[in-house]
């Protein structure tokens, strides 16, 4: 019932936003009409008529917004009257099959909404805001964890922790396999999966992650951060804060845009271009793009924001992928995994002594999270040195 109430609130907000887009479209048409009339010497009459048009349009749209508020208040009262007591959320299995259930689809939609407008959800106090939490098995971690070694997996933009098992059945041989479950089996790491609002600024998400790690992993001896895409930037941003870094051994960034993502930068260029053209269609689309989340805006930047320096006590792995199977082909590095270029994924220029860079070919951006070659790179990096018998 809570999720229904929050979704209903989001719909009402969308109705209000639509009235403003309609007004923007009308105003754009009116400006063009007045301009044409002015060339014919009819500027003054045209402006007078437009004044009446503007007042009438605003009156109609204001009535729509008023009815919208009335419906919202009425539906809130109805939900309050019939709402049953809140039941604890049922555990959601972290398996590929679970992604294709009604609950799994809703969860993925919530991740998309957070990526597109998570900052707006936070600002309006909407319960669809994912916040920041850590998942242990099928529950949310809400108490200090006792474990020797922990690997924390941080997902990317517009997803949730379920992205770590998408395609697992085919790629890893089991629908419930993740890099986390494999590291637990092979090296004894306890896997935790971050779940967070990806529409917030990267630095803010990093601070929130650091606070959780400090609160719940104070008794853990070794901590590893593994981030995919935006999750790699959030992992790096977390290292700027908190005491957990004293026990942090590795930061692993998989296909992360340390120098920005070309597709995200296209959004800014498209926004400016569309808003510069005074036409109803371009103005409306440009206005929509202008309201993209702060999280997306962070991915547009060539200088990754507030990530801090690489730490001398930490081992880093920056892994890049190319969509084509032959990375020597012209343009393969610029194309990257279709979302992040090789240069951007290979991290910052640095003299840090313990930085590893690796590439995998023939892998799309999302598939990096379940690629067996990527898991092998993680395992080889994290596996303690073997003593060769003499």
Grade residue 294 by pLDDT with cuts at 50, 70 and 90: confident
CA–CA separation, 334 vs 319, rounded Å? 15
Judge whether 179 lies within some domain.
yes
Asked if residue 216 and residue 67 are part of one domain, the reply reads no
Query: Which helix (H) or strand (E) segment is 222 a member of?
Result: strand 222-228
Our measurement of the distance from residue 293's CA atom to the centroid of its chain's CA atoms, rounded to an integer in Å, reads 9
CA–CA separation, 295 vs 112, rounded Å? 12
CA–CA separation, 184 vs 133, rounded Å? 20
Q: What is the pLDDT of residue 376?
A: 97
**C-alpha distance across the termini of the chain, in Å:** 65
Question: Which position has the higher pLDDT, 143 or 8?
Answer: 143
Q: What is the pLDDT of residue 268?
A: 55
Asked if residue 356 and residue 311 are part of one domain, the reply reads yes
Judge whether 121 lies within some domain.
yes
Judge whether 281 lies within some domain.
no
Give me the CATH number covering residue 253.
3.40.50.1820
Closest CA to 281 of 273, 64, 113, 58: 273
Judge whether 159 lies within some domain.
yes
Neighbour order of strands in the sheet with 190-196 = 139-140, 132-136, 190-196, 149-154, 222-228, 248-254, 315-322, 355-361
Helices (H) and strands (E) in the chain, counts: 13, 8
Asked if residue 59 and residue 127 are part of one domain, the reply reads no
Predicted confidence (pLDDT) at residue 122 exceeds the cutoff of 80: yes
28-32, 115-119, 206-210: which is most confident: 206-210
Predicted confidence (pLDDT) at residue 134 exceeds the cutoff of 50: yes
Asked if residue 153 and residue 34 are part of one domain, the reply reads no
Judge whether 289 lies within some domain.
no
Asked if residue 310 and residue 371 are part of one domain, the reply reads yes
Judge whether 356 lies within some domain.
yes
Judge whether 332 lies within some domain.
yes
Q: Which of 36, 58, 82 is the last residue of a domain?
A: 82
Asked if residue 11 and residue 153 are part of one domain, the reply reads no
Q: Mind listing the pLDDT tens digit for each residue in 39-81?
A: 766 656 645 554 554 555 455 435 544 544 444 445 344 434 4
Q: Which two tokens stand for residue 84?
A: 């049953």
Predicted confidence (pLDDT) at residue 91 exceeds the cutoff of 60: no
Task: List, as own/partner pairs, every contact residues 384-388 make where C-beta atoms lie below 8 angstroms and the sequence separation is at least 24, other chains included.
Answer: none
Q: Which of 82, 117, 135 is the last residue of a domain?
A: 82
Q: How many domains does the chain have?
A: 2
Asked if residue 105 and residue 252 are part of one domain, the reply reads yes
Judge whether 125 lies within some domain.
yes
Predicted confidence (pLDDT) at residue 319 exceeds the cutoff of 90: yes
Task: Decide if 367 contacts 325 (C-beta within 8 A).
Answer: no
Task: List, as own/partner pairs, every contact residues 81-85 make where C-beta atoms lie below 8 angstroms and the sequence separation is at least 24, other chains included.
Answer: 83/1, 84/1
Cβ neighbors of 33 (< 8 A, separation 6 or more) are 46, 50
CA–CA separation, 7 vs 110, rounded Å? 10
Q: Mind listing the pLDDT tens digit for each residue in 323-377?
A: 999 988 999 999 999 889 999 999 998 888 799 999 999 999 999 999 999 999 9
Asked if residue 24 and residue 134 are part of one domain, the reply reads no
Task: Decide if 132 contacts 196 (C-beta within 8 A).
Answer: yes
Q: Mind listing the pLDDT tens digit for each residue in 161-197?
A: 999 999 999 999 999 999 999 999 999 999 999 999 9
Asked if residue 103 and residue 51 are part of one domain, the reply reads no
Structural domain including 12 reads 2-82
Q: Which of 16, 48, 82 is the last residue of a domain?
A: 82
- Within a 10 A sphere around the Cβ of 74, how many other Cβ atoms? 10
Task: Decide if 139 contacts 344 (C-beta within 8 A).
Answer: no
Q: What is the pLDDT of residue 195?
A: 97
CA–CA separation, 5 vs 111, rounded Å? 17
Q: In the predicted model, what is the mean pLDDT of residues 205-230? A: 97
- What whole-number percentage of the chain has pLDDT above 70? 67
Q: In the predicted model, what is the mean pLDDT of residues 74-96? A: 55
Q: Which two tokens stand for residue 126?
A: 């909407």
Asked if residue 27 and residue 107 are part of one domain, the reply reads no
Asked if residue 223 and residue 146 are part of one domain, the reply reads yes
pTM: 0.77
Grade residue 280 by pLDDT with cuts at 50, 70 and 90: very low
Q: Which two tokens stand for residue 16?
A: 């209000």
CA–CA separation, 215 vs 229, rounded Å? 25
Q: Which two tokens stand for residue 233?
A: 């930037």
Asked if residue 207 and residue 334 are part of one domain, the reply reads yes
14-18, 135-139, 333-337, 378-382: which is most confident: 378-382
């Amino acid at each position: 019932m809570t999720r229904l109430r929050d979704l209903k609130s989001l719909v009402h907000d969308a109705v209000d936003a639509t009235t403003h887009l309609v007004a923007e479209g009308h105003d754009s048409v009116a400006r063009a009409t007045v301009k044409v009339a002015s060339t014919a010497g009819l500027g003054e009459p045209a402006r007078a008529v437009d004044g009446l048009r503007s007042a009438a349009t605003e009156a109609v749209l204001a009535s729509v917004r008023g009815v919208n508020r009335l419906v919202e208040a009425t539906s809130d009262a109805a939900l309050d009257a019939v709402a049953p007591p809140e039941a604890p959320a049922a555990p959601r299995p972290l398996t590929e099959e679970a992604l294709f259930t009604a609950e799994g689809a809703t969860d993925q939609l919530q991740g998309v909404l957070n990526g597109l407008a998570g900052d707006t959800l936070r600002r309006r106090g909407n319960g669809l805001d994912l916040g920041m939490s850590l998942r242990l098995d099928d529950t949310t971690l809400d108490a200090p964890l006792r474990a020797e070694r922990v690997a924390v997996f941080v997902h990317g933009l517009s997803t949730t922790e379920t992205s770590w098992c998408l395609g697992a059945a085919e790629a890893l041989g089991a629908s419930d396999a993740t890099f986390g479950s494999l590291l637990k089996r092979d090296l004894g790491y306890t896997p935790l999966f971050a779940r967070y609002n990806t529409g917030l600024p990267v630095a803010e998400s990093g601070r929130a992650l650091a606070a959780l790690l400090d609160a719940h992993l104070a008794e853990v001896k070794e901590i590893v951060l593994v981030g995919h895409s935006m999750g790699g930037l959030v992992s790096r941003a977390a290292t700027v804060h908190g005491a957990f870094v004293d026990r942090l051994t590795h930061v692993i960034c998989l296909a992360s845009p340390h120098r920005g993502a070309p597709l995200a930068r296209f959004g800014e260029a498209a926004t400016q271009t569309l808003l510069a053209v005074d036409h109803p269609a371009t103005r409306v689309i440009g206005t929509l793009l202008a309201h993209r989340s702060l999280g997306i805006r962070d991915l547009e930047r060539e200088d990754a924001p507030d990530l801090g320096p690489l730490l001398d006590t930490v081992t880093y792995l920056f892994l890049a992928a190319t969509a084509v199977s032959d990375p020597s082909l012209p343009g393969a590095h610029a194309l990257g995994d279709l979302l992040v270029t090789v240069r951007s994924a290979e991290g910052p220029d640095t003299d840090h002594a313990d930085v590893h860079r690796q590439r995998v070919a023939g892998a799309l951006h999302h598939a990096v999270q379940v690629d067996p070659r990527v898991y092998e790179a993680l395992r080889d990096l994290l596996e303690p040195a073997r003593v060769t018998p003499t």
